[in-house]
Amino acid sequence: DNIAHPPIDVEYKGKKGTALFLSNTFDDGRRNLEVYFLTNNNKELYKAFEIYPYQYDELLSIFEYEYIENKTKSKSILILTKEVFKSSIHYRYFELPVLIDNDGVLRALYFIGDDALVAKIGCIDNFKTKKRCEFSTKEGLIKYLNKERKQ
């Protein structure tokens, strides 16, 4: 019951790790999402990130995303969520860049300077204005990011 999403095996620049997605159900029925990363030849498990119950209603998708940045191939784990309000639906994505730390170990990290409450960006389906979000699905988010990063 605590598994929120199947694990994702990540390989980047010859290093391997596994992202684990667990959740807890609270008294009000809402769930959080905790992301753990198993790395260093399965010797190190650490909490990489947490999304709190007040930040989302539904987990839509979790997936790896590869892109080119400054002529270098980069990789992230993306988490797409949905939050429902009376007159709108808010979609957000959280990005955990995959990188090799100074100690040579593969890591998936959510940078402390990032605003976890707002995530990377919000997108809204507004029922009153009929404005619709560009990235309410995994495919839509990939298309949006490819356009933003000019892939």
Model pLDDT for residues 58-107, shown as the tens digit of each residue: 999 999 999 887 788 899 999 999 999 888 898 989 889 999 999 899 99
Return the pLDDT at 129.
81
Q: How confident is the model at residue 116 (pLDDT cuts 50, 70, 90)?
A: very low
Write down the pLDDT at residue 120: 58
In this structure, the number of other CB atoms found within 10 A of the CB of residue 1 comes to 8
pLDDT of res. 118: 42
Q: What is the mean pLDDT of residues 114-141?
A: 75
Using CA atoms, how far apart are residues 92 and 119, in angstroms rounded to an integer?
Answer: 6
Q: Give kind and range of the element (H or E) at residue 79.
A: strand 72-84
What are the pLDDT digits (tens) for 14-41? 999 999 999 988 888 888 999 999 998 8
Provide the phi-psi class of 42: left if phi over 0, else alpha when psi is between -120 and 50, else beta: left
pLDDT value of residue 52? 85
How many Å apart are CA 69 and CA 75, to the nearest integer? 10
Determine phi and psi for 67, rounding to 5 degrees.
-155, 165
Residue 151 has a pLDDT of 54
- Residue range 114-133: mean pLDDT, rounded: 68
